[in-house]
Amino acid sequence: MHQVMGNLKLGGMAIRYSQFVPQLYNWCLSLGFTRDRMMPSRAFCSDESQGYPVILMAQHFGTFPFDHGQVGGKVATDRHGPHAHHGEDLVIVQASHVGYDAASKRFGVYPRPRTAHGGFGANCGKMSAVLHWYEQEYAHAARDVRLQTLDGEKFVVIDNALLDPGRTEGLFLQLDRLIDPKRPDPIQVLSTAKVFAAHAALQARIPPDSWPNAGAPIGAHLCADFFTFRHSPVVGPEGHDLLEEAIAPAMPTLVTSANPSLDAARYHTQIEFDRTYRSIQREAAYRGKNVLFISGLNVDVATNNDLLFPLTKFVPWAAYLQRQNGTTQLLEQDELTATLTRQSTENPDKISFDTAIATMATAEAVDLPAA
């Protein structure tokens, strides 16, 4: 798992957003960033559950954050130039997100009280929609590859549809890891499937008592290294699906995970940091300015307390600091988390929305000229 997913840890790393944002603001001050020159930006999904982090960023930084985000938490790197034009000390927070139901301990869901049914829905919905096709393909394959024992010998029974190499898309088995290479031809040809002698490596991976005499689906024993996917990302009015394209290489690992939605968001956060970090290094508009890019995972925690907003937590992953003088620093998860938690959660500069809105409501009116 770590070879694909990296080492983004959750345990002991999550910070409540009400603490994370003032800690981030105070860290920026400690770096020499000044309040009246700072322009924060967020790269979050468009889900309403991401509104609370945006509100907190506006409250603590004193300005509404620039929008770097696309659906699923992808960074719109073509907005670097406009962002740079709005300030001198530039802060970007990127986060993919995943819901978490504290009562059932389920990842990938969050309440949608304004819908007709008012129940839990997928969160992130876009990430779940991308995963759906792959999860369905995996479910079919886990059912249509069967294990069987006959006269003490172990066999694998594979549906003919999975043996068709002419398919343009679908789940494709790594047959050289499932079938005994010394006996590659079918032992028996059935009406809709073929029976093969099982590979020794496959036998070694599956406990002997999981090989039923009468035959049974391979199920969860169909591990990530036994198959690949072939699928063309959907093309819509905004072009091909960039989120699907981004996480497709990890799909075998994701669909076999105990928490596919969590690991998809975690994986996407990691690859988005790597991609955006390199784009910032190349961006001419950021040269001569201070830039802090921080990436992590937003976990939208649903509780039983009827809170107006989710109890969102931020799990830091990595940060990149680019100084005005050209020096740079890269912080990995442990160092970044320690750096943030050393900062105060108190921010005397934070604004009061009630006061600001009341002041604006009573300000002298400005008449617009006739067009």
Residue 73, phi-psi category: left (phi > 0), alpha (psi -120 to 50), beta (remainder)? left
The number of residues in the chain equals 371
pLDDT at 167: 93
Residue 159 bridge partners (DSSP): 193
pLDDT at 366: 92
* Series of mean pLDDT values for 10-residue runs along the chain (371 residues): 67 95 98 97 93 96 95 92 97 96 91 84 89 96 95 94 94 96 94 96 87 88 95 62 87 95 95 96 97 97 80 96 96 97 97 92 91 80
What letter represents residue 128's amino acid?
Answer: S
Q: Do β-strands 38-43 and 89-101 pair in parallel, antiparallel, or remain unpaired? A: parallel
Whole-angstrom Cα distance, residue 203 to residue 51?
A: 50
Whole-angstrom Cα distance, residue 127 to residue 108?
A: 9
In the chain, where the domains are located: 2-108+259-359, 134-230
Q: How many CB atoms lie within 10 A of CB 172?
A: 17
pLDDT at 235: 63
pLDDT at 327: 96
Residue 55, phi-psi category: left (phi > 0), alpha (psi -120 to 50), beta (remainder)? alpha
pLDDT at 210: 77
